[in-house]
Copies of this chain bind each other. A is one copy, B any other.
Amino acid sequence: MLDPLLDKVRIVLVNTTHPGNIGATARAMKTMGLTRLHLVSPQGFPSAEATARAAGADDILARAIVCDDLDEALTGARLILGTSARARSISWPELDPRQAVAEAATTAGDVAILFGRERYGLTNKELQRCHYLVNIPSNPEFHSLNIASAVQVLAYEMRMSRPAAGETEKPREDLLASAEDMESFYEHLEDTLFQTGFLKTGQPRVTMMKRLRRLFNRAKPDTTEINILRGILSTIQKPKNRG
């Protein structure tokens, strides 16, 4: 994999207490294509629990770099981002995850994103190493986001920011029915509904056909679908096996 953004980002977990969170972080990273994990003085790593929660992302764990202090984990990093709950005593430039990823994408060189301790996050001293704080918007009454979930959100934004992400909405393979096919269908529909007695002559008929046009236009049927619908109408007009 060669990706200009994903390859230059390292995730730095500072003093993580629960090995399960390290494993879940590795999994969150790998699902989005991130590979570089730095662990500053983690508790209980490596561990079976981390491997279990990694659920197949154990290659990320195996390549994780365990560091004694933050300096070591930040070696070579250019842009440093620190995740933080809002309303810190420290006043520091703040970005939301989408802005942070845009900043990372337009910065040359390595990017480090810091995630703090389960209980109290990053210290003010650690936050002051950062160019920006990253604030994940959350419920003001409950902003206790799990660390691996915070990594997931940032990693997801990185994945979304890639050019390929815009291609998730696959264009429909079949051509939409042509304007004239749609008109023929509506004529056929109106004839059939008149024949069955659903439509009578007069104004309600016009209003009803307008409603049905709105409904079927919204569905944007393709050529095959219009053929199916017309097949149905033909069978209604001349039922062969009516019971």
Contacts and interface: CB of A to CB of B under 8 A. Distances in A.
Nearest to A152: B149
A149 B30 CA distance: 13
B138 A31 contact: yes
A144 B27 contact: yes
B215 A221 contact: yes
B142 A30 contact: yes
A50 to B, nearest CB: 14
Interface string A48-63: 0000000111000000
Contact of A168 (B28, B94, B160, B241): B94
A181 interface: no
Interface string A205-240: 000100110011011110011001101100110011
A96 B168 contact: yes
A169 B98 CA distance: 11
Contact of A146 (B27, B97, B231): B27
A144 B94 contact: no
Given A96-B168, A149-B148, A218-B220, A56 B142 contact: yes
A2 interface: no
Interface stretch (A36-44, A69-77, A107-115, A194-202): A194-202
A188 interface: no
B195 A243 contact: yes
A177 to B, nearest CB: 11
A117 B145 CA distance: 23
A169 to B, nearest CB: 6
Given A169-B94, A236-B196, A136 B149 contact: no
14 contacts: A24-B146, A24-B149, A27-B144, A28-B149, A30-B139, A31-B143, A32-B138, A149-B152, A153-B153, A195-B239, A196-B232, A198-B235, A215-B219, A218-B219
Which 7 residue pairs spanning A and B have beta carbons closest together? A197-B241, A219-B219, A198-B235, A96-B168, A33-B139, A149-B152, A197-B240
